[in-house]
């Protein structure tokens, strides 16, 4: 089995020392930098905006994986591409014209992802799987960090993996929320490819060691 892609979520980092946090990720075995954007409308919280993403880019040496938890993402995807995003994920629940959103992201030269909330069934993605590079499965309700992992996620990931393979898609499955050393193996066994870890990494005394352990999950 391939080693997982590990994407620390900077939402859980120390914003007062953002450069230091990004340099830690650069020096670690992490593969991507996961960046959560919240608008206070689609989710009940506000997070960082474009100026912070641009600040991250000035120090980042790993690809920036931007997760837009916002309404009308089509208004902002070009700006996030310009701010340094390599992958941009939009929420199926926020996009009534999802195929158009995906086309826009790809036309901008970014990899395109679709995020799906815990309550949303995977069949909501069946007509888009062939067109995307990533499915971001929310394993907590979006909006806040440090939530408890939703156990149903394992079955959801397994079903999604089958659907991706049946469609002939090469989309990766990313897990966002409550990922830790205890559930990482089961998530990978179910079919996950990318592990997003926020509080588990940034609350640790030795974050680089935590990232290395996630990378080496067996």
CA torsion, ordered 124, 138, 90, 38, to nearest 10 deg: 140
Say which residue the tokens 């995020």 belong to: 115
Helices (H), the chain: 18-27, 50-59, 77-82, 98-107, 153-167, 184-190, 199-202, 207-215
**Enzyme catalytic residues:** 36, 176
CA torsion, ordered 92, 164, 132, 45, to nearest 10 deg: 30
């Amino acid at each position: 089995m391939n080693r997982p892609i590990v994407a620390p979520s900077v939402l859980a980092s120390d914003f007062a020392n953002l450069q230091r946090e990004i340099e830690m990720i650069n020096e670690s075995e992490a593969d991507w930098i996961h960046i959560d954007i919240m608008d206070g409308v689609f989710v009940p919280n506000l997070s960082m905006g474009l100026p912070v993403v641009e600040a991250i880019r000035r120090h980042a040496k790993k690809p920036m994986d931007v997760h837009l938890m916002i309404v009308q993402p089509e208004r902002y995807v070009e700006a996030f591409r310009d701010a340094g995003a390599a992958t941009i994920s939009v929420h199926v629940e926020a996009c009534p014209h999802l195929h158009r959103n995906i086309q826009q992201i790809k036309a901008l030269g970014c990899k395109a992802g679709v995020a799906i909330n815990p309550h949303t069934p995977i069949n909501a993605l069946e007509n888009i799987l062939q067109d995307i590079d990533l499915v971001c499965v929310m394993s907590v309700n979006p909006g806040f960090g440090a939530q408890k992992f939703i156990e149903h996620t394992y079955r959801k990931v397994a079903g999604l993996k089958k659907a991706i393979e049946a469609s002939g898609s090469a989309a990766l499955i990313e897990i966002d929320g409550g990922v830790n050393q205890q559930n990482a193996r089961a998530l990978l066994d179910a079919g996950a490819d990318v592990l997003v870890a926020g509080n588990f990494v940034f609350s640790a005394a030795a974050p680089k060691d935590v990232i290395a352990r996630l990378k080496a999950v067996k």
